[in-house]
Structure 1
Amino acid sequence: MSGRTPVAALSQKQWLDITASSNMPLYAILSKVSDANPLREYYIHDGNDTPVGLYRATPYADWTETMPVIVRLDEHSPFLKWVEETEHKDWGWLARSPYNFEKIVDHLRGLVKVIVPGGQEVFFRYWDGKWFAEHLRYMGDDWREVMPPFAFYWVNSESFIVHIHAQSEVKKSPWWHVPQALIDTMLEKDQQPIVHNILQFLKDEYPEIYFRFDQEMIAAKVHRIVKNNNSRKEDIIEEVLIALKQAQ
């Protein structure tokens, strides 16, 4: 891991003014699974461009209701006021990039899934600013090897700078192996990401067990096991499966 990514708490206006001197276009990554419904808000307040789905040309291209999107923004887009004022932390984030738009999309498409310790492939919720910032803090400039296009980020009032390469090879998902130390760092602050990933894994790989239980009950059981277990993810999953089978 290289030096930490420079971090600063900046208002959106300060960040926009400072990074505008780079002459890099401004983009928003928007979640479709946030209660904030940022895509709806974008069309209410702006709507001048058409957001592009980031699962297109992947096996999940028809997941239109859940796939994240990217949209280019004008420097004075009315949507930015909503971004600044929303209380939600999982709506998405802002960034600047010198890369060609299609190249940006290609790189993000390569991050649909990632590989966690133990070898499981999981969907990468990079659009969720609530914990995306932890990746930037931990990886420092090495983040350019994971997400090459973006040099400036604004994530929930935090500003990040990554010294990116002029060009970078596009990779096919899944290729990135998430470091265990990064997962541990995130879990020290918030266990929700791994709870979500385990629930998604159970839903995908063990639907006959997952759909046998009330959703709130199974989420609470997973959260309780994660909270009391410092083992690797695959060990936690095994314990969850045993507990669920015993509860049948």
Structure 2
Amino acid sequence: MNKITLEQWVEITRESGMPLYAVLTKTGASQAVAEYYRHDGSHTPYGLYARTPYADWFSVMPMIVSLSENSPFLSWVAETEHKDWGWLARSPFSLDVIGEHIRGLTQVILPSGKEVFFRYWDGEYFSEHLRFFGQDWADILPSFPFYWVNGEYFTVQIPAQSKPQAFPWWHVPQQLIDFMLEENLAPLVTNLIIWLQENEPDLYESFPETTIRYKAEHLCQLSQAQSMGKSLLMEELVNALKDDLALQSNPFETLPLSFFTPPSF
């Protein structure tokens, strides 16, 4: 990993003369947009779902905002324990041009052909993409040559001009998914929870998310050892939660008849 303090990164990349930007999440525990307004608020964040069919998704819309070199918000960024708040970058382009390029990644295409939202605003998730692609990331998001993501810096040579593409155009390679699951199970855990919320809403609402996350993490760890496919993981998660729900509604655990049968010697 290319570790560097935020203060060092800001100072070094300042010499480029490029403006500093923060991409912020509106979801998760970090409350990054609210923290920006609490510590700075001198600019209005720009909604990255603007000019898409999701332009009214205000409560979950990722944002981008320009920062001054001495923004008080940078102190919060340097000190926060949250890994999913967003990330910092520098760009030679205007906010409109940057927005067009990022908007082209609103949704991406999985190897299965399914179109899904791309969680580019989640720094913990996003850094895996930068690490995997290296210089080739410029073919996907040719807007930023300098990134700072959770204490790690990335440098990408970008073209002077490139045409934004309308989503969904990017086909996520299977090699990236395999790499991310080897490095970090968090994306798979998050996808399982989202799937459960969308496909089994009653079951999802029956448990605190911390309980669901714990079970999903346990199953994902087992999947690595037993080469479990994603469809089997989903089935196992549903079954585990249904079993727990049955126990909650029945104070007496149901045991098989064999439990009461004395062993033969």
Name the TM-score, length of structure 1 as normaliser: 0.86
1:49 paired residue number = 43
- Aligned pairs for 1:138-217 within 5 A: 138-204=132-198, 206-207=199-200, 211=204, 213-214=206-207, 216=209
The one-letter code sitting in structure 2 at the alignment partner of 1:174 is P
For residues 109-150 of structure 1, what are the alpha-carbon distances to aligned partners after superposition, in whole Å with 9 as ceiling and x for unaligned? Answer: 111111222122222111111131111111011101111100
Q: Which amino acid aligns with 1:20?
A: R
- Tell me the secondary structure at the aligned position of residue 111 of structure 1: coil
String of CA shifts for 1:26-72, please: whole Å, max 9, x gaps: 00001111312111111111111000111112122221111110000
Counterpart of 2:259 in structure 1 is: none
Which of 97, 100, 110 aligns to 1:103? It is 97
| 2:84 alignment partner in structure 1 | 90
- 2:23 is the counterpart of 1:29: yes
User: Quick check: 1:117 aligned with 2:118?
Assistant: no
With over 3 angstroms needed to count, the CA separation of the structure-2 counterparts of 1:237 and 1:20, relative to structure 1, is same
Q: Match of 1:214, as an amino acid?
A: F
Structure 1 Cα separation of the partners of residues 128 and 194 of structure 2: 21
Secondary structure of 1:141 counterpart = helix
Residue ranges of structure 1 left out of the alignment (5+ in a row): 1-6
Percent of aligned positions that are identical? 48
Asked if structure 2 preserves the Cα contact closer than 8 Å seen for 1:122 and 1:201, the reply is no
Contact 1:226-1:236 at 8 Å conserved across structures: no
In 1, the alpha carbon distance for the partners of 2:232 and 2:174 equals 18
Aligned equivalent of 2:262: none
Deviation at 1:212, TM superposition (A): 7.0
Which structure has the bigger radius of gyration? 2
Q: Which amino acid in the other structure matches residue 181 of structure 1?
A: Q
Provide the rounded CA distance (Å) in 2 between the counterparts of 1:242 and 1:153: 38
Could you tell me which residue of structure 2 aligns to residue 133 of structure 1?
Answer: 127
SS at match of 2:87: strand
Please state how far the C-alpha of 1:23 moved relative to its aligned partner: 1.0
Contact 1:209-1:244 within 8 A present in 2 as well: no
- Give, in angstroms, the shift of residue 163 of structure 1: 0.4
RMSD of equivalent CA atoms:
2.4
* Secondary structure of 1:229's aligned partner: helix
- The question of whether the paired residues in 2 share the 8 Å contact of 1:110 and 1:173 is answered with yes
Deviation at 1:181, TM superposition (A): 1.7
Equivalent of 2:68, from 32, 56, 74? 74
Give the drift of 1:211.
4.8
The separation in 2 between residues aligned to 1:91 and 1:211, in whole angstroms, is 24
* Residue 12 (structure 1) aligned with residue 6 (structure 2): yes
Equivalents in 2 of 1:222, 1:166: separation in Å?
44
Q: How many residues align?
A: 240
State how far apart, in whole Å, the 2-side matches of 1:91 and 1:243 are: 27
Q: Which has the higher contact order (CA 8 A, sep 6+)?
A: 1
Aligned to 2:89, what secondary structure does the other structure show?
A: strand
Q: Distance in 2 between matches of 1:159 and 1:86?
A: 17
5+ residue gaps, structure 2, are 244-265
